[in-house]
């Protein structure tokens, strides 16, 4: 899958996941109900989007939950913090001033589950395999080479400045595999691995990692069972077993209220409202819902009119979208989510100003301006319906004199118009590929999402120049300030209107601790405890 298509294809996958989960939910719940009563077993309910347990092939949330437990990475995130990578298999690292070369020093005491020491050769094999498999997560290491300097030192070199590398290596797709074991079962890191590598079947039957758990049983449709790794080098996990079940949200609502040692990850804010005797954490997700107005006059002389674009900016009732989204939701102050480096402070929020919006409509020179709003009509995200949000947009814009035709269509259809850049107004969301602001440079002129909004390269030279500078700046503090400035410029003159980050709900039994939601890992099962 190309990088251009990956973010939006996530929506199509979501629609298919709902259908599959509904079909197998009853089977999964029945098959593993006995596990929930065991004191040494943690049960996690998740509507599966699971394709593989092979870390270099998986790039879906459920696979990430599994591989976070099975495989160590060079660095990791702890708790909800995705802005500050922490040591994992690597005890430390250094970065060159030009952000092109990163040197990682490995711990000497990390062992794979079969007792084999983890060395630089395993890191190099894992990262080269990820690149040469040419799968969904391969883009993470595009333009980056990895070499062993010595037995416990790894050097990563980027063709261009890349300050996101410490964040990238914390991704579960960069989990470090036992190279000797994987090679023995058909794995290869050589060019041509996309056809020659045969290790996926083995990695779906048993793990080849150094993480706190090992794989006991695996199914993409019912459940995955993990058991504690007796050779784990770090703090021992609190639970001997973890069962990750494929259960739809309706069944999860019942399950989480029935006992102890249970976590639910797919409840909507509305479903979570009525829960009692359960701890519920409602936090903002990293999904940014946004509206855009196409800047290509060939698509629409209305949406491309600068005054109409400003009118839209000030017509939107931003607090109303937060209320629609429910518990845990926040106003998306910019395209970079609130928990990432470079997020805007609340003081920078765009505010509704109806008088200004009406004045901009009058200044447009257009009589009775009318536009079409396209959106996927058959899916939801974080319990939020695109159709409901579109109705709100229509109401807001018509209040200032802009007529809106709602043109919802099935996601497969709407994705084509979105990718093709032919939507006059579009309502979508961007889910992060990795938790770093560089992932949001796609909203600039000439980039992936910018082009979908008809914003060609050269449309805003000052912004484009700042984007190139921010994307290669090594200092986190400086880069954060640059991305804040980028978003202020986008909010002032861009065709994008960030609306809301919906709430992400984690519901858990009262006896559990450390059930914090992480936007990359969702839930770190090895960190969960009990009292």
Q: Please state the rounded mean pLDDT for residues 358-378.
A: 97
Q: Cβ(66)–Cβ(50) under 8 Å? A: yes
What pLDDT does residue 18 have?
Answer: 41
Q: What CATH code is carried by the domain that includes residue 40? A: 3.40.190.10
Q: What is the C-alpha separation between 383 and 20, in angstroms, rounded? A: 17
What is the per-residue pLDDT for 307?
98
* Residue 502, pLDDT above cutoff 80: yes
Q: What's the whole-number mean pLDDT along residues 355-372?
A: 98
Which pLDDT belongs to residue 383?
Answer: 81
How is residue 379 written in tokens?
């899916």
Residues 208 and 175 in one domain: yes
Which one-letter DSSP state was computed for residue 423?
A: -
pLDDT digits (tens, 9 = 90+) for 271-316: 888 888 899 998 999 999 999 999 999 999 999 999 999 999 999 9
Average confidence score pLDDT of the chain: 92
pLDDT at residue 92 greater than cutoff 80 = yes
398 and 515, same domain (yes or no): no
Query: Residue 24's pLDDT is what?
Result: 44
Residue 6 confidence class, pLDDT cut points 50, 70, 90: very low
> Given this model, what pLDDT does residue 273 score?
84
Contact (CB, 8 A) for 172 and 526: no
Rounded CA separation 522/20 (Å): 20
**pLDDT value at position 327?**
83
d(CA 19, CA 23): 6
Residues 496 and 443: beta-carbon distance below 8 Å: yes
Considering the domain architecture, whether residues 56 and 107 belong to the same structural domain is answered as: yes
What pLDDT does 500 receive? 98
> Based on the structure, what is the number of domains in the chain?
2
Q: 15 pLDDT exceeds 60?
A: no
Domain co-membership, 117 together with 254: yes
Judge contact between 340 and 435, C-beta under 8 A: yes
Separation between Cα atoms, residue 293 and residue 297, nearest integer Å: 11
Q: SS3 for 365? A: coil
The string of pLDDT tens digits covering residues 124-163 is 999 999 999 999 999 999 999 999 999 999 999 999 999 9
Q: CATH number, domain at 348?
A: 3.10.105.10
Q: Is 465 exposed, middle or buried (0-12, 13-18, 19+ CB in 10 A)?
A: exposed
93 and 159 part of one domain: yes
3-state secondary structure of 41: strand
The rounded distance, in Å, linking the Cα atoms of 264 and 255 is 8
Q: CA of 443: how far to CAs of 52, 264, 425, 446, 467, in Å?
A: 31, 33, 15, 8, 10
- Whether residues 351 and 391 fall in one domain: yes
The predicted-structure confidence for 382-409, as pLDDT tens digits, reads as follows 888 999 999 999 999 999 999 999 999 9
For the CA atoms of 65, 70, 72, 77, the dihedral, rounded to the nearest 10 degrees, stands at 20
Which residue range is the domain that position 133 belongs to? Answer: 3-282+505-530
Q: How far is CA 458 from CA 331, 450, 454, 463, in A?
A: 30, 11, 12, 9
351: its two tokens: 């505010």
Tokens encoding 472: 């290669």
Percent of the chain with pLDDT over 70: 93
Pair 509, 460 in one domain: no
Kindly report, residue by residue over 204-226, the tens digit of the pLDDT. 999 999 999 999 999 999 999 99
Looking at the fold, whether 322 and 468 belong to one and the same domain comes out as yes
Q: Is the pLDDT confidence value at 441 over 90?
A: yes
pLDDT confidence band for 186 (50 / 70 / 90): very high
456 and 425 inside one domain: yes
- Pairwise CA distance, residues 233 & 228, whole Å: 12
pLDDT recorded at residue 274: 81
Residue 373 confidence (pLDDT): 98
> What is the CA angle 110-112-114, rounded to 5?
135
Say yes or no: 307 and 229 in one domain: no
Same domain, 178 and 69: yes
pLDDT at 325: 92
Mean of the pLDDT values across residues 233-260? 93
Kindly indicate the confidence band of residue 380, based on its pLDDT and cuts at 50, 70 and 90. Answer: confident
- Does residue 269 sit in helix, strand or coil? helix
Tell whether 67 and 49 lie within a shared domain.
yes
């Amino acid at each position: 899958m190309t990088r251009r298509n990956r973010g939006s294809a996530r929506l199509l996958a979501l629609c298919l996941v709902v259908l599959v989960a509904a079909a197998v939910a009853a089977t999964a719940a029945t098959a593993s109900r006995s596990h929930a009563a065991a004191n040494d077993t943690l049960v996690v309910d998740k509507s599966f989007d699971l394709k593989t347990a092979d870390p270099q092939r998986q790039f879906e949330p459920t696979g990430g939950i599994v591989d976070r437990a099975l495989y160590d990475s060079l660095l990791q995130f702890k708790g909800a913090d995705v802005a500050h990578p922490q040591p994992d298999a690597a005890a430390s690292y250094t970065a060159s001033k030009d952000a092109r070369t990163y040197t990682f020093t490995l711990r000497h005491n990390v062992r794979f589950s079969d007792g084999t020491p983890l060395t630089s050769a395993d890191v190099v094999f894992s990262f080269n395999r990820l690149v040469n498999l040419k799968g969904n997560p391969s883009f993470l290491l595009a333009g980056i080479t990895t070499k062993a300097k010595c037995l416990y030192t790894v050097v990563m070199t980027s063709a261009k400045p890349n300050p996101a590398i410490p964040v990238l290596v914390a991704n579960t797709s960069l989990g470090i595999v036992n190279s000797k074991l994987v090679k023995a079962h058909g794995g290869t890191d050589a060019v041509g691995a996309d056809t020659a590598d045969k290790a996926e079947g083995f990695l779906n039957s048993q793990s080849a990692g150094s993480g706190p758990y090992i794989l006991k049983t695996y199914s993409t449709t019912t459940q995955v069972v993990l058991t504690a790794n007796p050779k784990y080098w770090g703090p021992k996990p609190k639970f001997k077993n973890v069962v990750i079940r494929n259960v739809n949200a309706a069944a999860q609502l019942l399950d989480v209220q029935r006992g102890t040692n249970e976590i639910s990850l797919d409840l909507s804010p509305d479903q979570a409202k009525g829960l009692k005797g359960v701890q519920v954490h409602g936090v903002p997700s990293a999904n940014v819902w946004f509206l855009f107005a196409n800047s290509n006059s060939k698509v629409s002389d209305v949406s491309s009119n600068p005054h109409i674009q400003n009118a839209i900016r000030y017509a939107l009732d931003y607090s109303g979208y937060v209320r629609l989204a429910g518990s845990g939701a926040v106003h998306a102050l910019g395209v970079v989510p609130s928990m990432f480096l470079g997020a805007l402070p609340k003081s920078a929020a765009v505010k509704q100003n109806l008088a200004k919006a009406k004045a901009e409509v009058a200044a447009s020179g257009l009589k009775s301006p009318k536009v079409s709003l396209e959106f996927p009509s058959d899916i939801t995200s974080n319990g939020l319906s695109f159709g409901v949000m579109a109705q709100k947009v229509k109401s807001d814009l018509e209040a200032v004199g802009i007529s809106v035709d709602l043109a919802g269509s099935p996601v497969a259809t709407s994705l084509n118009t979105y990718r093709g850049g032919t939507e006059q107004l579009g309502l979508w969301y961007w889910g992060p590929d990795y938790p770093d602001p560089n992932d949001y440079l796609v909203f600039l002129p000439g980039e992936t999402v910018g082009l979908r909004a008809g914003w060609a390269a050269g449309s805003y030279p000052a912004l484009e120049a700042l984007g190139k500078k921010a994307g290669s700046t090594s200092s986190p503090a400086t880069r954060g300030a640059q991305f804040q400035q980028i978003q202020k410029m986008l909010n002032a003159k861009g065709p994008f209107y960030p609306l809301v980050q919906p709430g992400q709900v984690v519901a858990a039994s009262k006896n559990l601790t450390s059930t914090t939601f992480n936007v990359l890992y969702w839930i770190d099962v090895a960190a969960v405890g009990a009292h």
